[in-house]
């Protein structure tokens, strides 16, 4: 079997996402404060952004973020449910595609467009099915009903998996998920709290982002022996 087109480019994007470690899942009721939220996250060290397509004007926002953030931001599209939406998201500038479910057509279209696909899966069978279909990373979702021990259990017989838990990951416990074997973790409302956004409390979002990035760095340092 010949390698999929753009495989090296996809690998570089995944490596970049893994190096950043934490992905902010930004789901907003409107786009008014989106740029301020992303700036607040970046100020705290969280620079991988999954902008969900449930956010009004999401495709335009992705284009704006790509232009404004350059290489400093890694911007992907979330809540992608079909191939056509995946294509439009990449055309808007998304550098990776995330879905809450596994749809083979979304993985295939993302790869045709040259970007990584990160479909959602829940059970070990679903996770392996997504992996075998070419998922670059499997989003374990919703992870809040599972916990880090589940991730560790799944990976024991399948250590080749690249898993990104999302749901239930917080700035305080993100390190637990990484220690359990996650290559990265998605943080939603625990990081981008709708109440903080409504109150325009960007300082609090930056503080949560800083706690997240510091905990990621601490675990990564311990796992690699840096500073030991």
**Alpha-helix runs per DSSP H in 45-186:** 58-69, 83-92, 104-112, 124-132, 148-155, 174-179
Whether 50 sits among the annotated catalytic residues: the reply is yes
Q: Which of 139, 152, 195, 214 is catalytic?
A: 139
CA nearest 71: which of 27, 20, 28, 116?
A: 20
Whether 152 sits among the annotated catalytic residues: the reply is no
> Measured between alpha carbons, how far is 118 from 163 in angstroms, rounded to an integer?
9
DSSP secondary-structure letter at 49? E
> Measured between alpha carbons, how far is 118 from 116 in angstroms, rounded to an integer?
7
Q: What are phi and psi of 24, to 5 degrees?
A: -85, 120
Q: Which of 32, 50, 60, 132 is catalytic?
A: 50
For the chain, the first-to-last Cα distance in angstroms comes to 43
Catalytic annotation, residues: 50, 139
């Amino acid at each position: 079997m010949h390698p999929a087109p753009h495989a090296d480019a996809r690998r570089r994007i995944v490596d970049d996402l893994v190096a950043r470690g934490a992905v902010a899942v930004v789901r907003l009721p409107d786009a008014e404060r989106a740029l301020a939220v992303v700036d607040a996250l970046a100020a705290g060290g969280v620079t991988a952004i999954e902008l969900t397509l449930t956010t009004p004007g999401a495709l335009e926002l992705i284009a704006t973020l790509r232009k404004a953030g350059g290489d400093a931001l890694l911007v992907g599209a979330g809540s992608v449910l079909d191939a056509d939406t995946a294509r439009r998201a990449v055309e808007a500038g998304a550098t990776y595609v995330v879905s809450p479910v596994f749809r083979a057509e979304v993985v295939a279209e993302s790869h045709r467009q040259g970007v990584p696909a990160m479909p959602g899966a829940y059970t070990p069978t679903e996770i392996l099915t997504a992996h075998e279909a070419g998922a670059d990373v499997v989003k374990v979702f919703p992870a809040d009903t599972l916990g880090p021990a589940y991730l560790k259990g799944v990976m024991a017989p399948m250590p080749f998996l690249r898993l990104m838990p999302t749901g239930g990951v917080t700035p305080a416990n993100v390190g637990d998920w990484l220690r359990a074997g996650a290559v990265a973790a998605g943080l939603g409302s625990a990081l981008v709290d709708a109440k903080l956004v409504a109150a325009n409390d960007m300082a609090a979002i930056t503080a949560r982002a800083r706690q997240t990035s510091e905990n990621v760095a601490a675990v990564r340092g311990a796992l690699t022996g840096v500073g030991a």
